[in-house]
């Protein structure tokens, strides 16, 4: 079989990992399959270098093609995607290229480009968690999934930010060549074939920014410093010199969730990291993360992650052991 043509349009201000991550995964597949791998091409408005956000230069070998087969149209993101979205000619080319592509994929804010071309209307889509709200606001016809690592909606694939491009590319390889090939690449790259717990971005740490009010920020610091401590609302409020009612109201206003929810999320994140890094019994991880019992932790995992702790541990162990 002929190689599957992969066309990657690049532009100034691109996030280089959105390109190099999938590029390396697909290139690795070429060493594991016989004659039906991927023919990868970087294309741009004009052949030559484009400058990434970091200053790294990527070289497009050809201009945006107006003819010829496209197996996968892979659209990266980056700060430059804002300018690219405003480039009517580029967006129009995306629409034409997508029409003749077998499938279309985006990494990170590349989803904004697909949405601008009308390719995501009525579909589920993922993007970087920081920009999910903006994508939903700018394109209300798109069903934005802010927690997804990647989403497949028909022939359209979208992924979250930066390293999620690896997850997306591994999923494409698995769809094309099977799990064994994708798993071999994942082992070589020392990454998950499928992140524990499925396709949720829960594998990242708690991303809540420190509250601007020093007293609330002090309470956050206390939670992170020792998740096993007594972190009930009366204790936290007393620690920062506020009444319970006022503390709870200010914490929720500035952090975005009640103090109890925040504590639970930090403890879940702590337990998750323990289960990832050490061969612990669930009950031991529960104690070291500040949960009163393994059952309490199990309920928190189901609420936050959608999987119980032992399932999480088994999934990680399988990937780690391989």
Rounded Cα–Cα distance for residues 236 and 297 (Å): 21
Residue 206: is its pLDDT beyond 60?
Answer: no
Within this chain, do residues 235 and 279 fall inside the same structural domain, yes or no? yes
Rounded Cα–Cα distance for residues 160 and 77 (Å): 10
pLDDT in tens, 113-126: 999 999 999 999 99
CATH of the domain at 251: 1.10.10.60
Q: Which of 307, 314, 220 is nearest to 268 (CA)?
A: 307
Q: Is residue 177 part of a domain?
A: yes
Strand partners, 125: 144
How far, rounded to the nearest angstrom, does the alpha carbon of residue 55 sit from its chain's CA centroid? 23
Rounded Cα–Cα distance for residues 193 and 314 (Å): 14
Whether the full predicted model's pTM is greater than 0.85, yes or no, is no
Q: Is residue 207 part of a domain?
A: no
Residue 133: is its pLDDT beyond 80?
Answer: yes
CATH of the domain at 29: 3.40.50.880
Q: How many separate domains does the chain show? A: 2
pLDDT in tens, 15-45: 999 999 999 999 999 999 977 899 999 999 9
* 312 vs 236, higher pLDDT: 236
Within this chain, do residues 180 and 61 fall inside the same structural domain, yes or no? yes
User: Which entry of 108, 142, 193, 307 is annotated as an active-site residue?
Assistant: 108
Within this chain, do residues 132 and 241 fall inside the same structural domain, yes or no? no
Within this chain, do residues 192 and 229 fall inside the same structural domain, yes or no? no
Question: Are residues 92 and 60 in contact, defined by beta-carbon separation less than 8 angstroms?
Answer: no
Within this chain, do residues 128 and 186 fall inside the same structural domain, yes or no? yes
Last residue of a domain, one of 165, 180, 202: 202
pLDDT at 316: 59
Q: Is 209 exposed, middle or buried (0-12, 13-18, 19+ CB in 10 A)?
A: exposed
Q: Is residue 226 part of a domain?
A: yes
How many angstroms separate the Cα of 167 from the Cα of each of 183, 194, 195, 199, 274?
11, 7, 8, 9, 23
Within this chain, do residues 44 and 100 fall inside the same structural domain, yes or no? yes
**Mean pLDDT throughout 181-192?**
83
Within this chain, do residues 235 and 277 fall inside the same structural domain, yes or no? yes
Question: Are residues 290 and 267 in contact, defined by beta-carbon separation less than 8 angstroms?
Answer: yes
* 259-277 and 282-289 helices, crossing angle to 10°: 140
Residue 200: is its pLDDT beyond 60?
Answer: no
Within this chain, do residues 294 and 253 fall inside the same structural domain, yes or no? yes
171 lies in which domain range? 4-202
Question: Band of the pLDDT at 314, cuts 50, 70, 90?
Answer: confident
- Minimum mean pLDDT range among 112-116, 218-222, 244-248: 218-222
pLDDT at 278: 78
Question: Band of the pLDDT at 197, cuts 50, 70, 90?
Answer: very low
pLDDT at 152: 92
- Residue 46 in 3-state DSSP? coil
**Mean pLDDT throughout 57-61?**
97
Helix (H) or strand (E) holding 103: strand 101-106
Last residue of a domain, one of 140, 167, 202: 202
Q: Is residue 164 part of a domain?
A: yes
Last residue of a domain, one of 156, 181, 202: 202
Reading the block at residue 7, the tokens are 């066309």
* 197 vs 2, higher pLDDT: 2
Cα torsion through 126, 128, 132, 135, rounded to 10: -80
Question: Band of the pLDDT at 211, cuts 50, 70, 90?
Answer: confident
Q: Is residue 209 part of a domain?
A: no
pLDDT at 58: 97
pLDDT in tens, 138-186: 999 999 987 788 999 999 999 998 889 999 999 999 999 988 898 889 8
Within this chain, do residues 76 and 181 fall inside the same structural domain, yes or no? yes
Assess whether 108 carries a catalytic annotation: yes
Q: Is residue 208 part of a domain?
A: no
* 77 vs 132, higher pLDDT: 77
Within this chain, do residues 175 and 236 fall inside the same structural domain, yes or no? no
Within this chain, do residues 159 and 304 fall inside the same structural domain, yes or no? no
Within this chain, do residues 190 and 218 fall inside the same structural domain, yes or no? no
**Mean pLDDT throughout 250-256?**
92
Residue with tokens 């023919």: 39
pLDDT at 321: 35
């Amino acid at each position: 079989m002929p190689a599957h043509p992969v066309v990657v349009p690049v532009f100034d201000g691109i996030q280089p990992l959105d390109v190099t991550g999938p590029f390396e995964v697909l290139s690795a597949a070429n060493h594991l399959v016989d004659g039906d791998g991927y023919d990868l091409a970087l294309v741009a408005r004009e052949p030559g270098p484009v400058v990434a956000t970091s200053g790294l230069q990527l070289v497009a070998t050809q201009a945006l093609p107006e003819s010829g087969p496209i197996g996968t149209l892979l659209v990266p993101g980056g700060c430059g995607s804002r300018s690219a979205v405003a480039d009517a000619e580029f967006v129009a080319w995306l629409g034409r290229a997508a029409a003749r592509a077998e499938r279309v994929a985006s990494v990170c804010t590349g989803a904004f480009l697909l949405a601008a071309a009308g390719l995501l209307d009525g579909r589920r889509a993922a993007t970087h968690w920081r920009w999910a709200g903006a994508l939903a606001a700018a394109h209300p016809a798109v069903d934005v999934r802010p927690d997804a690592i990647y989403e497949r909606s028909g022939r359209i694939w979208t992924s979250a930010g930066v390293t999620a491009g690896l997850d997306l590319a591994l999923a494409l390889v698995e769809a094309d060549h099977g799990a064994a090939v994708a798993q071999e690449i994942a082992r070589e790259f020392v990454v998950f074939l499928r992140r524990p717990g499925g396709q949720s971005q829960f594998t990242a740490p708690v991303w809540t920014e420190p509250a601007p009010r020093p007293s609330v920020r002090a309470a956050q610091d206390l939670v992170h410093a020792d998740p096993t401590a007594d972190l009930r609302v009366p204790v936290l409020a007393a620690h920062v010199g506020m009444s319970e009612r006022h503390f709870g109201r200010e914490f929720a206003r500035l952090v975005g969730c009640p103090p109890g929810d925040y504590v639970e999320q930090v403890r879940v994140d702590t337990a998750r990291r323990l289960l990832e890094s050490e061969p612990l019994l669930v009950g031991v991880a529960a104690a070291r993360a500040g949960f009163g019992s393994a059952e309490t932790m199990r309920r928190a995992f189901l609420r936050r992650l959608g999987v119980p702790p032992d399932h999480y541990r088994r999934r990680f162990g399988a990937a780690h052991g391989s």
